[in-house]
A = this chain, B = another copy of it.
Amino acid sequence: MRISIEVTMTYRFPEPNTVFFAIEAADYDGQTIEQQRMMLGEATVDRIAGDSGVGQRIWARVPGNDMELYYTATIDVTRPAIPLVGLEAMPLHRLPAEVVPYLRPSRYCQSDKFIAFVNKRFGHLQGGAKIAAMRDWIEAELSYVPGSSDADTNVLETFAGRQGVCRDYAHLFCTMARAAQIPARAVAAYGADVVPPDFHAVAEVWLGDAWHLVDPTGMCQADGLAVVAVGRDAYDIAFMESQAPAELITQIVNVARV
């Protein structure tokens, strides 16, 4: 599937600042960048590899005024949408070293608190069947309610509140998988089927000997997602991060099948 992406944003920076962007689709397994262009106003740009070597992040040194960000890309997504049910969980002692940190809790995903629940509800299942059951459970139990969470909401609150947006779904999925000792990580992505079009957060889970994309909201399949960045949770994959004041004036995200 080919996906076209177009992002237009205007930021207001009251003072010169160094900000971090994760906006560009990654050169990543299962997707090919056909064309891609990023314009960041008058910012000075440095690129570094993203977390776990996935994609690139941008440090932008911005002068203190308004900045227009314009990003356009066409991505050929070649990965198939594989049913997870049949996949096996890799035994812990065979996990690659770089996958192991994704077994652990993180800022928003206190997976250590969910072990008993996950054992109780999903303990009779294994590997991909367990993951599929978790994903289905989350889609069934949570309500997608824009505005029901904010950047501070953690997974304990999401689990109690039973509502959220894509980041909260991804957090709960990663949390449950980790509590079952299956590695999982948060993924920033563009999805052709996200309505209304927006930045999207999904997850990856390590089954068999590879990462597999999962959208706990049920909006997208693996073959309809262009991956941008991965990390332990929403903090690691934020599309923009700045300590100094920064105001988002406009944001338009368009994603379409082409």
Given A115-B243, A116-B143, A235-B104, check contact A157 B160 (CB 8 Å).
no
Report yes or no: A50 in contact with B161, Cβ–Cβ below 8 A: no
* Interface status of A106 (Cβ within 8 A of chain B): yes
Q: Which of B96, B97, B145, B232 makes the CB contact (< 8 A) with A50?
A: B97
Which among A23-31, A87-95, A127-135, A220-228 touches the partner chain?
A87-95
| Count class of interface residues, chain A | 35 or more
Which A residues from 144 to 188 make CB contacts under 8 A with B?
Answer: 145, 148, 150, 152, 155-157, 159-163, 181
Report yes or no: A18 in contact with B120, Cβ–Cβ below 8 A: no
Given A110-B107, A113-B157, check contact A61 B93 (CB 8 Å).
yes
Q: In the complex, what distance in Å separates the CA atom of A181 from the CA atom of B243?
A: 8
* Interface status of A49 (Cβ within 8 A of chain B): yes
Residues of chain B lying within 8 A (CB to CB) of residue A49: 97
Which A residues from 101 to 115 make CB contacts under 8 A with B?
Answer: 101, 104-107, 110, 112-115
Q: Which of B105, B110, B112, B161 makes the CB contact (< 8 A) with A113?
A: B161
Min CB distance A23 to B, Å, is 16
Q: Determine the residue in chain B with the shortest Cβ distance to A60.
A: B93
Report yes or no: B120 in contact with A162, Cβ–Cβ below 8 A: yes
For this chain, the copies found in one complex come to 4
19 contacts between A and B (CB under 8 A): A18-B91, A44-B93, A46-B94, A48-B96, A50-B97, A51-B100, A51-B101, A53-B97, A61-B93, A101-B231, A104-B107, A110-B160, A116-B143, A116-B163, A117-B162, A150-B150, A159-B160, A160-B160, A181-B243
Report yes or no: A46 in contact with B93, Cβ–Cβ below 8 A: yes
Given A107-B105, A236-B101, check contact A161 B46 (CB 8 Å).
no
Q: In the complex, what distance in Å separates the CA atom of A159 from the CA atom of B114?
A: 9
Residues of chain B lying within 8 A (CB to CB) of residue A100: 48, 51, 57
Q: In the complex, what distance in Å separates the CA atom of A91 from the CA atom of B46?
A: 12
* Interface status of A239 (Cβ within 8 A of chain B): no
Report yes or no: A59 in contact with B93, Cβ–Cβ below 8 A: yes
Given A97-B48, A104-B107, A107-B110, check contact A117 B160 (CB 8 Å).
yes
Report yes or no: B235 in contact with A93, Cβ–Cβ below 8 A: no
Report yes or no: A117 in contact with B235, Cβ–Cβ below 8 A: no
Q: Determine the residue in chain B with the shortest Cβ distance to A44.
A: B93
Min CB distance A95 to B, Å, is 7
